[in-house]
Structure 1
Amino acid sequence: MKKLVIYRHAKSSWDTPYLDDHARPLAERGLRDAPRMAQRLKKKKIFPDYMLSSDAERAKSTALITAENLHFPKEKIMLNRQLYHASSYSILQCLHQIPNTNNVAFIFGHNPGFNELIEDLGGTIDNLPTCGQFGFTFNTEHWKNISPANASFWFVDYPKKES
């Protein structure tokens, strides 16, 4: 069985409105929410074997904070430019490349691609909020085979949800 946590980046800062979107850092709220949400995963005993992130600053920072809180080696986070504003199809193609030796993968990135991916895999959500997490399990031993046919809802969590 494979497990996936789709993890939208924490709240980004708009203090510098003309900053290139790719370079946008986390806002104070994002810097507060990211470790809190990582600690919720820790409390549920959900730890990654593999972490994949968009290389946009806000997604990368969320991944780094999560890695630190879950004691995942930061140097093992796989950064991928293709995940920046990627479509559901492109995200799924990246997930299919995860080595099968990993059973629990976290992917950090952006909407609307993440909302589309969740729906394409059979999940239900209006909008995955910033720092939101949506988990699926897949009844397969191979990442290349993950699909709606073998996907099951695992959990959903986000900063304003009562835990």
Structure 2
Amino acid sequence: MKTLYMVRHAKSSWKHDVGDHQRPLKGRGKRDGKLVSQYVAKNFEPPQKIVSSDANRALSTAHYFKDALNISEADFSTNSALYDFSGQQVMQIVKSLEDQQDRIMIVGHNHAFTSIANMLGNKYIDNVPTCGFVMIEFPVDSWKDITTGKTVKTVFPRDLKK
């Protein structure tokens, strides 16, 4: 069994004069990052590895999860190919994950993450919101063999603010 945790980066700020890759989180994004990561840490098994886009907003979001889930530096990495909006590069990364790890979290961007959640999961998601978490399980032994799995759980910031 393979389990993929997908996290879309938290809300970013447009008020800074920086390129898209360098955009930081805004206040709401920081609050949501803390809220969702702490909820995930209390309610889900931690991933064996976190792989994040190297874009500032995704990497900042990933650090909230790294800290809340107590993930070591050795089990935390970035991959610039996750700075992808179509999903093709993201799928290549997922299919090439190391098979000795059964639970992996990836942190990245839309539209790729909504597309992949709908392609790989069995539950339609209109839009994975900023700092949205999606858990999909696959009844396979190798990441290269994943096709459609089961969307086990979604956690969106708005669900935790009610």
1:90-147, Cα deviation, whole Å (9 max, x unpaired):
2111011111111111010000011111121143111100000111000001111111
Aligned length: 160
TM-score, scaled relative to structure 2:
0.93
Distance 1:98-1:2 versus aligned 2 partners, 3 A rule = same
Query: Does the 8 Å contact 1:89/1:117 carry over to 2?
Result: no
Give the residue type in structure 2 aligned to 1:161: D
Match of 2:113 in 1: 114
Gaps of 5+ in 1: none
Instruction: Kindly provide the amino acid, as one letter, of the partner of residue 140 in structure 1.
Output: V
1:25-64 matches, within 5 Å, as 25-64=24-63
The residue aligned with 1:23 is: 22
For residue 118 of structure 2, give the secondary structure of its aligned residue in structure 1: helix
Distance 1:4 1:124 in 2: 16
- The answer to whether the 8 Å contact 2:84/2:90 transfers is no
Q: 1:121 to 1:45 in 2, by over 3 A?
A: closer
Indicate if the aligned counterparts of 2:48 and 2:75 stay in contact, CA closer than 8 A: no
Q: Secondary structure at the match of 1:124?
A: coil
Over the aligned positions, Cα root-mean-square deviation in angstroms equals 1.4
- Structure 2 residue aligned with 1:2: 2
Q: Structure 1 residue runs of 4+, over 6 Å off?
A: none
Structure 1 counterpart SS, 2:152:
strand
Determine helix, strand or coil for the equivalent of 1:134: strand
Q: Which residue of 2 aligns with 1:142?
A: 142
